[in-house]
A and B are shown apart, each in its own frame.
Chain A
Amino acid sequence: MICFGRCPSKGQQQMNEIILLAHVSFGVVCILGAVWVFVDVLNAREGNLARIRWMSRAAAIFMWCSFLLGGYWYVVFYPGDKAMILKGPLPSAHKYFMETKEHLVIILLMLVTYLPVAASNNLAASKDARRLVLWVAGLIPLLGLMIEGHGAIIAMGVKMALLAKQI
């Protein structure tokens, strides 16, 4: 194992990877939930209102799970990766991408938390309420995919730093 400073134990390493995997997975499921809500609202009627509301709540819960796991990982495990990235060939993976991601995610968290509030109106009867939910549900995948992309570049920054150290 290549590491900078104190090497983590095998258990810590496994926990690190499990948390990261769950963080990304919950994020992806949240985005899929928002897309589901968007499509369902395009055909909103009395029959699917309950499903729209449940799915918007589910998206918010998935986002909070992803945020709490990611936040825990960022505070506990990321300092080691950060040191690696900064010494590697892609320091912008931290200096730009992680710095941006850790603050954009707060906006996404508020947006997804707002989705069930917006979806609580009578979407079958109100065109305005439908339009509002379409905007909110449509913005979530845009910002979410941007943040997922940032995460991928941060992971690449770690990999490149490890490869550079091996060479």
Chain B
Amino acid sequence: MENSTVSKYTVSFGLALAVGSVADALIVIAKEKSRTVQAAMQRLTGSHWITHVVIVLILFVSFGFLFANSGGPGTRMRVNGLIKTIVAGMLAGVLIIVGFYFFAD
């Protein structure tokens, strides 16, 4: 028999993926536009890229568990909306990064 449910972690980590993708792109802009931000990120781990990765992965995992809490979107969202959010978040992240290095930098 068909059912239409997915686990709350499937929804919450899907949303966290969308958030993480956009955050990844925004951190790119922040560190490329501000030498202070880039220098601070460099100091934290010795490489601004490693710091970047660590920040995005922490956001991904944190939001994944946060959204799964009772009352959070992980308990309410439908799969159609989840797919649209994931694709939109990823597309936004990819386009911001590609566009930034193509046009702005």
Binding site for B on A (CB under 8 A): 71, 74-75, 95-96, 99-100, 102-104, 106-107, 109-111, 113-114, 117-118, 120-122, 125-129, 131-132, 135-136, 139, 143
Contact = CB atoms under 8 A, between A and B. Distances in A.
B50 A96 contact: no
Nearest to B9: A117
A111 B10 contact: no
Contacts of B4: 126-128
Q: Is the interface of B mostly helix, strand, loop or mixed?
A: helix
Q: Which 6 A-B pairs have the closest CB atoms?
A: A128-B79, A128-B4, A121-B6, A107-B21, A106-B24, A103-B97
A129 B79 contact: yes
Contacts of B80: 128
9 contacts: A95-B101, A96-B101, A106-B20, A107-B90, A110-B21, A121-B6, A131-B79, A135-B86, A136-B86
A116 to B, nearest CB: 10
Contacts of B2: 125-127
Contacts, number: 102
Nearest to B78: A128
A136 B18 CA distance: 12
Which one of A74, A127, A128 has the highest number of Cβ atoms from chain B below 10 Å of its Cβ? A128
Given A71-B50, A100-B101, A135-B87, 4 more contacts: A75-B49, A99-B101, A127-B2, A129-B6
Nearest to A126: B3
Contacts of A111: 17, 90
B82 interface: yes
Nearest to A129: B6
A154 to B, nearest CB: 13
Which one of A107, A126, A136, A139 has the highest number of Cβ atoms from chain B below 10 Å of its Cβ? A107
A118 B94 contact: no
Contacts of B9: 117, 120
B6 A132 contact: yes
B19 to A, nearest CB: 10
A135 B83 contact: yes
A96 B32 CA distance: 13
Contacts of B24: 103, 106-107
B86 A103 contact: no
Contacts of A117: 9-10, 13-14
A71 B14 CA distance: 24
B102 A96 contact: yes
A143 B94 contact: yes
Contact of B56 (A71, A74, A110, A128): A110
